[in-house]
Chain A
Amino acid sequence: MPGKYSVSAIDEPCRRCKAMSVIVVRSEPLCHDCFARYVHTKAIKRLERFRVNFTATPDQQPRILLPLSLGVSSTTLLHVLDLHLKTQKSKTNRTGFVISVLLIDDVVQDPASAERLEKVRHQYPDHDYSSLPLHDVFRLVPDDASIRSLLPLPVDQAKLSTQEQLVSLISSLPSATARADVLSTLRTRLTVEFAKQAECESILWGDSTTRLAEKTLSETAKGRGFSLPWQISDGASPMGINFHYPMRDVLKKELVSYINLAEPELASLVYEPSSGATQASTSSKNTTIDDLMKQYFESVEENFPSIVSNVVRTTGKLAAPASMSLGQCCSLCSMPISDGRFGIHGWGGDQQDGVEPSHAEGSNKLCYGCTRSIPQFGSTPTTT
């Protein structure tokens, strides 16, 4: 990993090899190579289950899906995994897994994003690449009614293209926070659906420690505290596929340093349009809960990195209820609901006497958090 630029000299040499240090990581001065090894080790340590399996034939290797956002974290994850596979190959002439990369375009398919993905493919040519527009979620999710029923009524849904369906759903939402929430939920649904159809056995998410801490507080603030045991832990997810977070022990700022210290080719792949999240814009109507938490943890990780890690580690101790019947899931986010506690009514903090729980047709029901984002779904037809 030749340096792109040298960081202002740090007095102490690398604590691991005495070479010139370029960065201080959790109060340990590290040289270029030791820092790279630090990031790699943290990620690879999480991939124990994907060791080379010598009894399997090459076509029996597990396929994993890497959802690429072109942000710092997922791009670094791809880079590290690519290196890892190359190492496996050179040592054993085999690899432990094969990678499918998926890029999702939010509303319309952007030609520029196809170009960006092409650049990535050029850099890491050994893997499969796909890109999908987000509205494909209406096409790919098999029980299409489950998501389509969320569309605002009355709409002759059959006549709408999937793109129009997405636009009509998003524009029916009451706030920027609700739109951001539903969009990211749909992105997860589409990713999972694609992974299943591509016969991937796991999804390897790029989330850093910092991002997982953000998610913990965001989901709490959105009323989805019940779902946290499934939201940030490694292993089987309720969506019927394994989730892994190989970057869970690396802070966002460490990944940014990694990109900055790596070959310029890596940095040039990253595309993170500034969402304005990092600027304090709390007065704006466009601020979302995710933005708030992002701002917050960006400041916390500066001086309190261990507190950020501790939030994630502690939240990981929340235990999914044993008696959970996985049959009862939210129609939007797919998280399991215990005791039929759908919607926002029927709990201590619900003060509307006599309001019946959600009257939505069929078996489609939303969890508490999703009902906050799509309130019209939970209301009775008479109160339009």
Chain B
Amino acid sequence: MAPSPCALCHTNRALILRPKDHSKLCKTCFISVFETEIHHTITMNALFKRGEKIAIGASGGKDSTVLASVLKTLNERYDYGLDLILLSIDEGIKGYRDDSLETVKRNAEQYGMDLTILGYDELYGWTMDQVVEQVGKKGNCTYCGVFRRQALDRGAARLGVKHVVTGHNADDVAETVLMNLLRGDLPRLSRTTSIITSTPSASSDPASNTNIKRSKPLKYAYEKEIVLYAHHKHLDYFSTECIYSPEAFRGSARALIKNLERVRPSAILDVVRSGEDMAKLVPGSDEGCGGACSSNVPIAEEEEGGCGSAAGRTVGGDMENMEKQLAQNDTAADNDLEIEITAKSLQKAKQHNRHDSAAVPLANGKKTKKGVTPRKTNKQVMGQCKICGYLSSQEVCKACVLLEGLNKGRPKNKIEVGYEVQDVQQRDQGADGVADVMQRTSIGGD
């Protein structure tokens, strides 16, 4: 078979089968179309303002490395007028981040960007190694997860940066859409499909923790194309395999996405589109604008199922827990009592383990069908953590609750929180159980 010419320039030999639509492209055209599409995403969604200072959440992995490289290219090519810096978080696990942080340092030089590496010790006063020493191996993932969720925002606030971009790609978003459908969590589905989110950090000190905007310029970029781009541009990145297996909901969503992509390459994009459309149909949602208008930016949500949040769980644990809960509720409903069961109410009962999950209260009471007991409008009012000023539904945010426990504790007599965390973790095999404990130990719990 004669080599086919590139479908775009019709001149060069096609060397790349484009994962997104299976078009045959030459290397030059692939790189150019990949960059142009991200430019298109940025302009169409008005992600940036001229003169804006942007912190790129950099882990040294492929997504954030490609993001940094493409943003630098586009910033110069189209004269965005952005001030781009790199922001990395060091959890303080000996040996774990060393290689990836070295990669980020090289990237900083290669791209001529300032790099700030903030350690958990600087942000929280504790490295993860120290936490592990204190609470043992089993409970530590809770700390890592809770700390990680706030780290980029806290870091950005410290640098006086109001906008953080992350490397979430189309596969991540599609996976999250399916996962939240499976979990029956429409509010979160709605929030995570948005390209821009904000982490409002109410604070009395306006200089420290105000509205940090988050966006994902790679939202429509396929993971496979990100890898191809990195490869053909000879980008210097560190490929880390996540050492933890994802929880069951995310795991099966991920498997579905991979299979769907095989059956129909556009499926990843199609799921993202469906997610955006469904977000507008979620009762009480403010997604009418697709999340693009600045007055109604959804609250940020950490959607990556990275380490930390998944560690220490048994695969299947989250599905098993939810199945148990739902089955109990079903039994209650059998007595002709119609009870609305959603992941939301489940999470409410258990106090969801995400810091800001309840930040967008749903208009629960609005649509009451006949014969349906209206869900209690257990509206959680977001306030600020009285210790750190971070947005929180409790008087003290989760990070501070954990820190309080850590700071009180002495290695000799195991501190209460840490102990219970381990205990529950073993019993429930899920971080939700931990959140339970935190609810109980926190002061303002309802």
Closest residue of chain A to B285, judged by CB? A319
Closest residue of chain B to A346, judged by CB? B44
> Once bound together, how far apart are the Cα atoms of A369 and B267, in whole Å?
10
Q: Write out the residue numbers on chain B whose beta carbons fall within 8 Å of the beta carbon of A221.
A: 178, 256, 260, 264, 267, 270-271, 274
11 new A-B pairs (CB below 8 Å) besides A348-B44, A372-B270?
Answer: A177-B263, A217-B181, A220-B177, A222-B267, A223-B271, A292-B260, A306-B329, A309-B330, A317-B283, A317-B342, A348-B45
Partner of B178 from the list A177, A217, A372 (CB cut-off 8 Å) is A217
Q: How many whole Å from A176's CB to the nearest CB in chain B?
A: 8
Decide if A208 is an interface residue (CB 8 Å cutoff).
no
**Are B276 and A315 in contact, with the CB atoms below 8 A?**
no
> Once bound together, how far apart are the Cα atoms of A141 and B270, in whole Å?
29
Could you tell me the dominant secondary structure of chain A's interface residues?
A: helix
Decide if B108 is an interface residue (CB 8 Å cutoff).
no
**Are A314 and B343 in contact, with the CB atoms below 8 A?**
yes
**Are A220 and B274 in contact, with the CB atoms below 8 A?**
yes
Q: Write out the residue numbers on chain A whose beta carbons fall within 8 Å of the beta carbon of B252.
A: 296, 300
Q: Which residues of chain A from 304 to 333 have any CB-CB distance to chain B below 8 Å in the complex?
A: 304-307, 309-311, 313-315, 317-321
Q: How many whole Å from B316's CB to the nearest CB in chain A?
A: 8
**Are A175 and B184 in contact, with the CB atoms below 8 A?**
no
Q: Which residues of chain A from 209 to 232 have any CB-CB distance to chain B below 8 Å in the complex?
A: 216-217, 219-226, 228-229
Stretch at the interface among A3-11, A62-70, A157-165, A281-289: A281-289
Given contacts A220-B274, A319-B281, contact A348 B290 (CB under 8 A): yes
> Once bound together, how far apart are the Cα atoms of A296 and B319, in whole Å?
14
> Once bound together, how far apart are the Cα atoms of A229 and B280, in whole Å?
11
Could you tell me the dominant secondary structure of chain B's interface residues?
A: helix
Decide if A26 is an interface residue (CB 8 Å cutoff).
yes
Q: 20 interchain pairs (CB within 8 A)?
A: A175-B264, A177-B264, A216-B181, A217-B182, A220-B178, A221-B270, A224-B274, A225-B278, A287-B263, A288-B263, A289-B267, A293-B256, A306-B330, A317-B186, A318-B282, A320-B281, A348-B220, A348-B276, A351-B40, A351-B41
Q: Write out the residue numbers on chain B whose beta carbons fall within 8 Å of the beta carbon of A319.
A: 281-283, 367
| Closest 10 pairs between A and B when the two form their complex, measured CB to CB | A225-B274, A306-B326, A223-B270, A314-B184, A351-B37, A226-B277, A318-B281, A220-B274, A225-B278, A310-B184
Decide if B13 is an interface residue (CB 8 Å cutoff).
no
Decide if B275 is an interface residue (CB 8 Å cutoff).
yes
Q: Hey, which bits of chain A sit against chain B, CB under 8 A?
A: 26-27, 175, 177, 216-217, 219-226, 228-229, 282-283, 287-289, 292-293, 296, 300, 303-307, 309-311, 313-315, 317-321, 347-349, 351, 353, 368-369, 372
**Are A223 and B273 in contact, with the CB atoms below 8 A?**
yes
Q: How many whole Å from A99's CB to the nearest CB in chain B?
A: 27
Closest residue of chain B to A229, judged by CB? B281
Q: Write out the residue numbers on chain A whose beta carbons fall within 8 Å of the beta carbon of B195.
A: 348
Q: Which residues of chain B from 229 to 284 have any CB-CB distance to chain A below 8 Å in the complex?
A: 252, 256, 259-260, 262-264, 266-267, 269-278, 280-283
Closest residue of chain A to B185, judged by CB? A314
**Are B278 and A226 in contact, with the CB atoms below 8 A?**
yes
Partner of A307 from the list B256, B282, B283, B323 (CB cut-off 8 Å) is B323
Q: Write out the residue numbers on chain B whose beta carbons fall within 8 Å of the beta carbon of A224.
A: 274
Decide if B381 is an interface residue (CB 8 Å cutoff).
no
Decide if B337 is an interface residue (CB 8 Å cutoff).
no
Q: Write out the residue numbers on chain B whose beta carbons fall within 8 Å of the beta carbon of A315.
A: 181
Closest residue of chain A to B282, judged by CB? A318
**Are B264 and A372 in contact, with the CB atoms below 8 A?**
yes
> Once bound together, how far apart are the Cα atoms of A221 and B267, in whole Å?
6
**Are A306 and B327 in contact, with the CB atoms below 8 A?**
yes
Q: Write out the residue numbers on chain B whose beta carbons fall within 8 Å of the beta carbon of A348.
A: 41, 44-45, 195, 219-220, 276, 290, 292
Q: Write out the residue numbers on chain B whose beta carbons fall within 8 Å of the beta carbon of A320.
A: 281
> Once bound together, how far apart are the Cα atoms of A318 and B329, in whole Å?
21
Q: Write out the residue numbers on chain A whose beta carbons fall within 8 Å of the beta carbon of B260.
A: 221, 289, 292
> Once bound together, how far apart are the Cα atoms of A347 and B259, in whole Å?
25
> Once bound together, how far apart are the Cα atoms of A292 and B319, in whole Å?
20
**Are A223 and B259 in contact, with the CB atoms below 8 A?**
no
> Once bound together, how far apart are the Cα atoms of A300 and B182, in whole Å?
10
Q: How many whole Å from A219's CB to the nearest CB in chain B?
A: 7
**Are A292 and B256 in contact, with the CB atoms below 8 A?**
yes
> Once bound together, how far apart are the Cα atoms of A309 and B341, in whole Å?
10
Q: Which residues of chain B from 289 to 319 have any CB-CB distance to chain A below 8 Å in the complex?
A: 290, 292, 319
> Once bound together, how far apart are the Cα atoms of A17 and B333, in whole Å?
20
Q: How many whole Å from A182's CB to the nearest CB in chain B?
A: 14
B177, B269, B277, B342: which has the most chain A beta carbons within 10 Å? B277
